[in-house]
Chain A
Amino acid sequence: MAVLAVGREQFEEGVLRSEKPVLVDFSAPWCGYCRRLAPAVARLAEKYGDRLEVKIVDIDESPQLAEHYGVDTIPTLRLFAGGRASEPLVNPGSAAEIEDWLRENGAL
């Protein structure tokens, strides 16, 4: 499943009210670590497309969302299930680390 960008207008519908858990990648196009993470996140979206949605929030375009969810380091991942946000995973070092975190948060 493709990784779609999501902004403030679509956040309620696309993330908070989603039936499936949503992995949200808070990032920005100019951030090197975010770009390095993006292919790994895309592979997870592909691999777990049946139980998980993956969305990207560009913090430049949606500073309110970043502020609301306390993002001050990018990339930061948060998992939303039933409208509630998990503890953040900040700048993970590998795809395997993200999978472990998804498991801990009950998404896998």
Chain B
Amino acid sequence: MAEKIYDVAVIGGGPGGYAAALYSARSGLSVLVIEKMAPGGQMATTGQVDNYPGFDEGIDGFALGERMKRGAERFGAQTAFAEVESVDLRAVPKTIETSDGPVQAHTVVLATGASPRELGLPEERGLRGRGISYCATCDGMLYGDKTVVVAGGGNSAAEDALYLSKICKKVYLVHRRDALRASAVYQKALEGSPVEFLWNQTVAEVLHGQRVSGVRLQEVGGGATREVACDGVFVAIGRVPDTALFRGQLEMDEQGYLVADETTRTSLPGVFAVGDVRQKPLRQIVTAAADGAVASKFVEEYLAQLGG
């Protein structure tokens, strides 16, 4: 991969990345998408996408990811399945070190998305696969007739708790406030469900032997602690942007999202941020795709300046 200098390297093969690839390739630019797993990103884990226009009966997120990839490839975009290890975004040309060797490009579109936020407890990682999960729809079935704790208070926590309440013997929802931040649809559904709310508390420790056996909850503000026995803990406390690789090179906000306005231009010329990784008010497939289209316009503008 080393010899060629691409016009555009896109890091991340979700909807934002492949939209940028499609628009750029269609404008005649050479494009390489670097994806560490499979096309579609976070969208690929969603069975039914009902809010991307044009699919009147919805579409499977995995299939949509494949189609976005093929759509970009139709105009010559390429995909490398490799993991990015480091980037030098100031270099000329910009350089990306991957598990399959270096990639060079005049411009870089960052479309790395976000991952589930962890509780941040020391025992947490070792208990993955032993009772801690970040995906209720994936692992819920394995907790049939068991007791589980859902941590979080937003839409995804509410959705997880509702889903699990249909499968599990008992579901507790632990939230650090005294009310949910979830939308009204979920609030209503939860009120009529068997889910038990544990307000104003956080998970201070996951109790375990070989497997999760319970949680120690602490009242917010350093108050009393109590233990609740359970077989599983489902963590749904939001997401964190995958921007660790860019720290020190690009401006980020407090949560780590890349600072870029509607033009998708970041703090470095020739570097663009699209989709969930960008600071923005609404993170959806359609807004990620829109970012990709916008980025290609400013990629072209930047390349024209370079050439002139």
What residues of chain A have their CB less than 8 Å away from a CB belonging to chain B? 28, 30-40, 43, 59, 66, 70-74, 76, 88, 90-91, 93-97, 99
Q: How far is the CA of A38 from the CA of B259 in the complex (A)?
A: 33
Q: Which of B36, B135, B137, B232 contacts A72 (CB 8 A)?
A: B232
| A92 nearest CB across to chain B (Å) | 9
Question: Number of B interface residues, CB 8 Å?
Answer: 31
* Chain A residue at smallest Cβ distance from B134: A91
- Contacting residues of chain B (216-254) with chain A, CB-CB under 8 angstroms: 232
Taking a contact as CB atoms under 8 Å apart, the answer to whether B37 and A72 are in contact is no
Taking a contact as CB atoms under 8 Å apart, the answer to whether A73 and B44 are in contact is no
Taking a contact as CB atoms under 8 Å apart, the answer to whether A35 and B45 are in contact is yes
| A30 nearest CB across to chain B (Å) | 7
User: Provided the pairs A40-B81, A72-B232 are in contact, do residues A32 and B138 lie with their beta carbons within 8 angstroms?
Assistant: yes
Taking a contact as CB atoms under 8 Å apart, the answer to whether A33 and B135 are in contact is yes
Taking a contact as CB atoms under 8 Å apart, the answer to whether B40 and A96 are in contact is no
Chain B residues with CB under 8 A of A33:
45, 135, 138
Taking a contact as CB atoms under 8 Å apart, the answer to whether A36 and B38 are in contact is yes
| B136 nearest CB across to chain A (Å) | 11
Does any Cβ of A come within 8 Å of B269's Cβ? no
- Given A73-B128, A74-B142, A99-B99, 13 extra CB contacts under 8 A: A30-B137, A31-B135, A31-B138, A32-B47, A33-B45, A36-B38, A36-B62, A40-B37, A43-B81, A73-B133, A90-B129, A93-B36, A94-B83
A-B contact pairs, 15 of them (CB 8 A): A30-B137, A32-B46, A36-B40, A70-B129, A70-B130, A72-B130, A72-B139, A72-B211, A73-B138, A73-B139, A90-B129, A94-B36, A94-B37, A95-B36, A95-B99
* Chain A residue at smallest Cβ distance from B100: A96
User: Provided the pairs A37-B37, A88-B129 are in contact, do residues A32 and B142 lie with their beta carbons within 8 angstroms?
Assistant: no
Taking a contact as CB atoms under 8 Å apart, the answer to whether A74 and B139 are in contact is yes
Chain B residues with CB under 8 A of A32:
44-47, 61-62, 135, 137-138
User: Provided the pairs A36-B62, A93-B36 are in contact, do residues A72 and B142 lie with their beta carbons within 8 angstroms?
Assistant: yes
Chain B residues with CB under 8 A of A28:
141
